Structure 1
């Protein structure tokens, strides 16, 4: 795919990042936080229009490349990282964020195979493909190394009702994070995971109206500002490669997660 460059300055002061799912929600918030901090950012996602909206929200002197890509497609992922390298020269950070929850409220026995496969292709296969491409680039570039941060979600720890596909992929992502972290050590590739609970985005708007709980009741759940997530990712990203946040959990303080609620 061809990168669509915005009218931004070339290069940045804090390195080069690839952010997937950058057209909305957590991906947009993280991309903008990095851009404000001087990073150059390749904005990846399926819809060019929303990526352009993210780029338009960046500081005027920020360096962006808009690269429409479906992370579940190997050719798109290869093109994404080629575009980032051609535009900025290297890749220092991948925020592996693209994901989908799938159809909500569907019992296990009624979940269509195509819906299951779409969630697995996006959340797990997509994360692997992007991590693999980033790993290859980081291993080969000079100076060698970089960082991968996977968006795991609280579903990497515990499920919500009727979330079998999403929860299974997020549990798998934890294993992917650990394995990548181990294999990246010889090449100065640090890999960590951020598990996020109830950040206020369009995807989580339904929680303000009530969502199913384990006891069968509906409950409105507390939310936190997505900017707090973005600042946490930036902190993880800007550590020296000799230090790594292996796992971070950031959640709305009083959401029903710890203990019984």
Structure 2
């Protein structure tokens, strides 16, 4: 199922999405653009970001690509400044950038380098992004909304060989709740979305075909299929919108019932 919105909840607002060069991040960026937002897309590589911008502008939207490394506080401050300089404000931020390394390695065999990489990007990267975003949003009369992308694996991991990733995504969920309480008085609403198996490359096991994945999902997910990128984006846009004005510090799990 593909979800296409005809609403315009973000007209005149600026949305920033990290990790927007593909997959869920690109889908979120496109969804914000469809609902009228000016979209700033960020990532480490120019080419994928340029494609995301081309898709947005090709549909009549406005977008800006900024290369940034989420492990660099300086890069993230520069990213926020670029968004404000171009569009005048930062109303929404989605911290989506993340990485899964050492997949399939059991806990005792997980290389330290993989562990530290996931901590740096998945946890420290979200913290540094939050700090840069809140610093801007707390100066704005209308504040802002932040959505962090966690994972259903961080809620309840049923996959061997993903302990390091699960730990970092659980940390994103806890960080989101704590930051939400810390900064709601600043007018900044912070929440998280925890996707389950989604129609991206990450949902495939090594060497698995689409048919194999579909067969596996029919047994692993009560809904019987992976979620679409558009369905994850719809959850993010809800939390970022005025429809969720009283939703603070939640982790919205979108996983077809696999953690129910």
TM above 0.5, yes or no, is yes
CA shift, 1:46, in A, is: 1.0
Q: Do 2:95 and 2:149's aligned partners in 1 also have CA atoms closer than 8 Å? A: yes
- From 53, 56, 64, give the equivalent of 1:55: 53
Query: For 1:210 and 1:238, how far apart are their aligned partners in 2?
Result: 33
Say which SS state the counterpart of residue 138 (structure 2) adopts: helix
Note the C-alpha offset of 1:210.
5.6
| TM-score, normalising length: structure 1 | 0.85
Corresponding residue of 2:122: 123
Note if 1:103 corresponds to 2:102. Answer: yes
Map 1:245-260 → 2, pairs under 5 A: 246-253=250-257, 256-258=258-260
Alignment pair present for 1:155 and 2:150: no
Q: Which residue does 1:5 correspond to in 2?
A: none
- C-alpha distance after superposition, 1:91-132 (max 9, x if no partner): 011101110111211111221111100000000000000011
Match of 1:230 in 2: 233
Which has the larger share of helix? 2
Unaligned runs of 5+ in 1: 1-11, 214-218
What is the correspondence of 1:137-152 to structure 2 with a 5 Å cutoff?
Answer: 137-141=136-140, 143-152=141-150
Superposition pairs of residues 171-182 of structure 1, within 5 angstroms: 171-182=170-181
User: Is the 8 Å Cα contact of residues 147 and 241 (structure 1) preserved in structure 2?
Assistant: no
Task: Name the SS of the counterpart of 1:227 in structure 2.
Answer: helix
Q: Any idea what the Cα deviations from partners look like across 1:218-244, whole Å, max 9, x if unmatched?
A: x77631211111112112211267422
Structure 2 stretches lacking a partner, 5+ long: 1-9
Q: Any conservation in 1 of the 2:57–2:63 contact (CA below 8 Å)? A: no
Cα–Cα, structure 1 residues 210 and 29, in superposed 2: closer, same or farther, change >3 Å?
A: closer
Structure 1 segment 161-200 matched on structure 2, within 5 A: 161-200=160-199
**Do the aligned partners of residues 114 and 87 (structure 1) sit closer, same or farther apart at CA in structure 2, a change above 3 Å counting?**
same
Q: How much is the aligned-residue C-alpha RMSD, in angstroms? A: 2.1
Size of the aligned set, in residue pairs, is 238
TM-score under structure 2 length normalisation: 0.85
**Which string of whole-angstrom CA distances, capped at 9 and with x for unpartnered residues, describes residues 182-225 of structure 1?**
111211110111111111012223375469x9xxxxx7763121
Counterpart CA distance in 1 for 2:256 and 2:244 is: 29
Larger mean Cα displacement after TM superposition, 34-43 or 68-77: 68-77
Cα displacement (A) at 1:52: 0.6
